[in-house]
Structure 1
Amino acid sequence: MQYLKIKDAILEQMDAGKLTSQQKLPAERKLAETFDTTRVTLREALSLLEAEGRIYREDRRGWFISPAPLRYDPTQTLNFTNMALTQGRQPKTELVSAKLVLANKQAASLLELQSFSDVYQVNRIRYLDDRPVVYVTHYIRADMFPKLLSHDLAHSLTDIYRDHYDCMYQSVRYRIFTSSLMGSLAQALRATSGTPAMVVERVNYNHAGQLIDCDIEYWRHDAINIESVANLSR
């Protein structure tokens, strides 16, 4: 099938180092001419490469070569910034919004709250090497963190909890599933609507077993690799 040959030809260029991380591919029309094919067939090849995490698309800008994904180990306590730095990446966090709201159905369920409870909703975009890769919504118990909004919430929440509230994570519950980036989420990550996403849902507890907060992370699927080591004993 021609689209598979096109896919393999692009992979050969990548493996040979002729196409490098975050390099922009030629326009679809030019690529179709190069491979003497239709744009429909070309897009089949590009869609396969996107599904495999080898390339990504930015809305109205075209296709790019994916950098190496961030290794994400759920068993480690490193926050995003430290996780990125230890892997030689350049992280950045942008605060989108932070406000006190009534807990919606999702927040109330994850944090086991009564109806009409107050929570902080904090939305942030995280970048790797100047590329937006994850949109995070945090729901935080307002009763445990008075005046939280007075702090710089572009910084690590883990550090704010520890330094200003003497509160640290003790255990975390994860749920990981696939989804798609749509609407404002896609726009925030410069993605086209329908781009595959990896969703990491975390619920965090303190040393007393109390629920502290929860995070819902929407990752560009090519930017993350879930990786962990389990030590098994008999």
Structure 2
Amino acid sequence: MRDEAPRTVTAICRALQEQIEHGLLTQGSQLPAERKLSELFETTRITLREALGQLEAEGLIYREERRGWFVSPPRLAYNPLVRSHFHAMVREQGRQSSTELLSARLIPAPVDICALLELPALSAVLQIRRARRIDGRLVLYVEHYLNPAYFPGILQFDLTCSLTELYASEYAIHYGRVRFDILPTALPAEAANSLKTTLGSPALRITRVNRDQHGRLIDCDLEFWRHDAIHVSVEVPE
């Protein structure tokens, strides 16, 4: 029996992968319930979940809490060198975007945020938490931390829109130099809950530290992307 389980996992993975590659299971479609898949492949739920977990790690399928398993849609191309914002980036690739505001408030700056924004001890920052969708699918949880000295009254505005455009229109602030740090990680509790997925699911963490056109450190973003939602694509000009 021990020898059979790995072979069964491999067989399930191969079968589902072929169905996806040939378009029989279309991108964004929902897989049958785990019970039905177990019956189809004549295996246990434990073995089935091992196979589904492998396909999830490969980015072919994904799971949403209380909804089930789905075929992953195409990844979004993410180019850190392009001066754009989430909604524009998604729109330019023929997709639809939406943003949900989770919270927006003035808080004591965490130690790591003080370091990123070079703030003194016991500083306050504006924290804006948002969840973002592509074609209706939750793909990104992001925490923005703003130096309140540069954005008085910003909490009164519609914070589901582009902050980049809001900075420009209301504060005459434009992004200058930007630093990116990109690391594979596991989703922490806040991000997993917001993305309706399992705590510890694989993710890509992108930290952006932003200066304005005058060289001032104005904000930083902590982005947690589903690992199968984007691919980082950079072309360096000559």
Please name the residue that 1:163 is paired with.
Answer: 169
Counterpart secondary structure, 1:170: strand
Deviations 1:183-207 (A, max 9, x none): 3321211112221111111000112
Question: What is the distance in 1 between the residues matched to 2:137 and 2:63?
Answer: 12
> Superposition RMSD on alpha carbons, in Å?
1.2
Partners of 1:22 and 1:70 lie apart in 2 by 14
* Residue of structure 2 equivalent to 1:11: 17
Helix, strand or coil at the partner of 1:149: helix
For normalisation by structure 2, the TM-score amounts to 0.94
> Mind listing any 5+ residue stretches in structure 2 that lack a counterpart?
1-6
Whether 1:181 aligns to 2:187 is yes
2:228 counterpart SS class: helix
Aligned residue pair count: 232
Q: Distance in 1 between matches of 2:155 and 2:44?
A: 53
Q: How many Å apart are 1:208 and its aligned residue?
A: 2.2
Match of residue 54 from structure 1: 60
Q: Which one-letter code corresponds to 1:138 in the other structure?
A: H
Partner residue, 2:202: 196
Tell me the equivalent position of 1:44.
Answer: 50
Separation (CA, whole Å) in 2 of partners of 1:192 and 1:85: 28
Q: Percent identity?
A: 47
Gaps of 5+ in 1: none
Normalising by structure 1, we get a TM-score of 0.95
- For the residues of structure 1 that align with 2:28 and 2:198, how far apart are their CA atoms? 17
Tell me how far 1:118 sits from its aligned partner.
2.0
2:4 is aligned to none
Following TM superposition, by how much is the alpha carbon of 1:79 offset from its aligned partner in structure 2, in angstroms?
0.2
Aligned with 1:161: secondary structure? helix
Amino acid at match of 1:106: D
The residue type paired with residue 146 of structure 1 is P
Give how far 1:224 is off. 1.3
Match of 2:226 in 1: 220
**1:62-211 matched pairs, under 5 angstroms:** 62-211=68-217
* Displaced runs of 4 or more, over 3 A: none
Q: Which amino acid aligns with 1:34?
A: L
SS at match of 1:22: coil
